[in-house]
Chain A
Amino acid sequence: MRATATSTVAAVVFQDGARRVVVDPAPKELAAARSVHVLAFTSHDELLLAESEGDFSVEEWDDVYDAAAKICCQSGAGNADTAMDLDGPANAGPDMRQFLSSTLEAKVAADLYWK
């Protein structure tokens, strides 16, 4: 493997006249969304895959990119300042890289238990 990859889905929803980026939209939100985007990042923070559906502007795509990069590329161990920030933004979504490494750590720990 050259790298590992993480990905996320984001939708641009217009609600009450305001534009909003919804990460991991529910099927109902997907149906109502103006545009839907899938972005994947490698573990070197490089954009691997960007697929979009629907009408959107460059600003909207930039917002989607920032939201997706935050989910896929944040380094979980690095930001100790926010580790106890339980009142963070509610729709921030999961930390995919943290999830990937913790899953692999658990697997390696289980497999190497005999040592």
Chain B
Amino acid sequence: MPAITAPEAALSVLPRADGSAKYSYAGYTVTASVNGPIEAQRKDEHAQEAYVDVIVRPAAGVGGECLDIARYGALLLTTAFYIGTRERHLESLLQSSLSQLILVKNFPRMLIQVVLQVEAVPDNDYENTKLVQASLVRAPSYR
């Protein structure tokens, strides 16, 4: 079990993003990037305020981001959404929190995109890692 140390952060780690940061604490490392305000898609456009789009990508797996759909078809569609439930929940929590902090009223009809990539999670000897879990869940559905 990793000893809990002081939190660490680095700013502007991604040169091409409008804003980015890397934060590591207690075995977790997350890289975040922010782009915006950019043009919103018609379905996300809000007449009065900016839409805050949050995407959480887990350390292992695709987090319900349906990249595999084209390859594996509709059977995996349900699996992919099932796996992504955790990330979707985190995204909805973050979206409501960030919308309170960002001055969304200043950027009507725009999109502010926040992407969080989990890079490292603490080792837990008492539980399977998500990599192992993913292969356990998915193994039967390939055949």
Interface of A is mostly: mixed
| Number of chain B interface residues as a range | 20 to 34
The answer to whether the Cβ of B141 comes within 8 Å of any Cβ in the partner chain is no
A26-B1, A103-B11, A107-B11 known; A2 vs B127 contact (CB < 8 Å):
no
A42 touches B7 (CB 8 A): no
A94 touches B6 (CB 8 A): yes
The answer to whether the Cβ of B134 comes within 8 Å of any Cβ in the partner chain is no
Residues on B with C-beta less than 8 A from A58 are none
A99 touches B9 (CB 8 A): yes
Interface of B is mostly: loop
Residues on B with C-beta less than 8 A from A24 are 4, 25-26
The answer to whether the Cβ of B126 comes within 8 Å of any Cβ in the partner chain is yes
| Number of chain A interface residues as a range | 20 to 34
Of the residues A2, A27, A94, A96, contact of B100 by C-beta under 8 Å? A2
Q: Write 16 A-B pairs (CB below 8 A) sorted by A numbering.
A: A2-B102, A5-B101, A24-B4, A24-B25, A24-B26, A26-B1, A26-B26, A26-B122, A27-B1, A27-B126, A27-B127, A28-B124, A48-B97, A49-B93, A94-B7, A103-B11
The 5 closest A-B pairs by CB, nearest first: A27-B124, A107-B11, A103-B9, A49-B97, A2-B101
Chain A residues near B (Cβ < 8 Å): 1-5, 24, 26-28, 31, 40, 42, 48-49, 51, 94, 96, 99, 103-104, 107
